[in-house]
Amino acid sequence: MEPEIAPLLLAWYDRHARALPWRAPPGAPPMDPYRVWLSEVMLQQTTVAAVRGYFERFTARWPTVEALAAAPKAEVMGEWAGLGYYARARNLVACARAVAERGGFPTTRDELARLPGIGAYTSAAIAAIAFGRAETVVDGNVERVVARLYAVETPLPGARRELARLAEGLTPEARPGDFAQAMMDLGATICTPRSPACGVCPLSGPCRARAAGIAAELPARMPRAPKPKREGIAWVAFDRRRVLLERRPPKGLLGGTLAFPSSGWDGSDQPPPLAADWREAGRVRHVFTHFELDMAVHVARSGGNPQRGEWHVLRDFDPAGLPGLMRKAWAVLA
């Protein structure tokens, strides 16, 4: 089956490839490695629709890896706000600086994987898409396509090693970057998690799951345990025309972001940032990767010197620069 897959898929991709700002057209020379790397980092655990605007703003503000390397980390964190998984933004700056220092991106998967924030998936994607290396790129879309193509009924995550091995057998020597993106596009637009459009799929002929009538059931998954629940408090303080904000620790949840002082939900147990007549203005709910949060938003109007954080002039304050959780807290007061 393997020899016929790549030609079928690439022929479909040549006609139906998604037009994305970080992607070269099918068959064209590869895109700038900087844009490939930036998009792959942004796309980790985030949808194409959510990433597009961030990518365009980043590349307009920092058009080269050298420009990003020279940017203050706080500015990059502010531009990243709302995209989530903030360790990616911290690693983004560290990686840009490492690449700028060495004079450019390395071209092999092994060398790429040594850079900050670049793991097995991202290194394979950059090597294949930016440098034409015959590396196998496996994300959730690719796992789903391969599970159906070979009718792999072993549940995820246990099937991952087998799916990666099968995907490697499909990767062609010619146009590996286009092939990787074609697999992603197929999974995103045709071989979707629910109601796959098998009738228009270019791989419907050799697909074993379709032949068996089980395509919509794959990939199978082990039942997920319910997420634990946490509670916390965010304190939003005003002093005339100022608002109190603090820079969170560089590592950990929402690391390095500008936020309202808070406590409880992140393992800390801290008192309010200043003595004031606090009142609860509302509550917000937020889902993290490993837990669900119910956070009370307390508000007060009080001056003085806070024990935590610094006063920021309200007219210069843009809530869009806050992480998603803190934007929800701000919205309670609107």
* 159 and 292 housed in the same domain: no
Residues 127 and 44 in one domain: yes
Lookup: tokens for 75? 């500015």
Residues 306, 270 contacting (CB under 8 angstroms): no
| Closest among 288, 271, 278 to 328, alpha carbons compared | 288
pLDDT of 1 over the 50 cut: no
**Is residue 107 helix, strand or coil?**
coil
> Do 251 and 183 reside in the same domain of the chain?
no
Q: What is the CATH number of the domain that holds 290?
A: 3.90.79.10
Nearest to 77 by CA among 288, 266, 326, 298: 326
Q: Which amino acid is at 44?
A: Q
Q: In this structure, are 241 and 184 located in the same domain?
A: no
Number of domains in the chain: 2
- Is residue 45 included in any domain, yes or no? yes
pTM for the predicted model, two decimal places = 0.84
Q: Which of 217, 244, 271 is the last residue of a domain?
A: 217
Q: Could you tell me if 196 and 209 are in contact, meaning their C-beta atoms sit under 8 angstroms apart?
A: no
Cα(124)–Cα(134) distance, rounded to whole angstroms? 9
pLDDT tens, 216-265? Answer: 999 999 988 899 999 999 999 999 899 999 999 988 889 889 999 999 99
The answer as to whether 222 is a domain residue is no
Q: Is residue 40 annotated as a catalytic residue, yes or no?
A: yes
- 204, 252: one domain: no
Q: What is the pLDDT of residues 67-76, one digit of tens each?
A: 999 999 989 9
Q: Say if residue 194 is in the same domain as residue 234.
A: no
Note whether 42 and 90 are same-domain residues: yes
Residues in a beta bridge with 311 = 244
Question: What CA–CA distance (Å, rounded) separates 319 from 81?
Answer: 10
**Distance separating alpha carbons of residues 209 and 19, to the nearest angstrom:** 29
Q: pLDDT-derived band of residue 3, with 50, 70 and 90 as boundaries?
A: low
Q: Name the active-site residue from 4, 40, 66, 143.
A: 40
289 pLDDT above the threshold of 90: no
Q: What is the distance between the alpha carbons of residues 112 and 123, in angstroms, rounded to a whole number? A: 5
Residue 89 lies in domain: 2-217
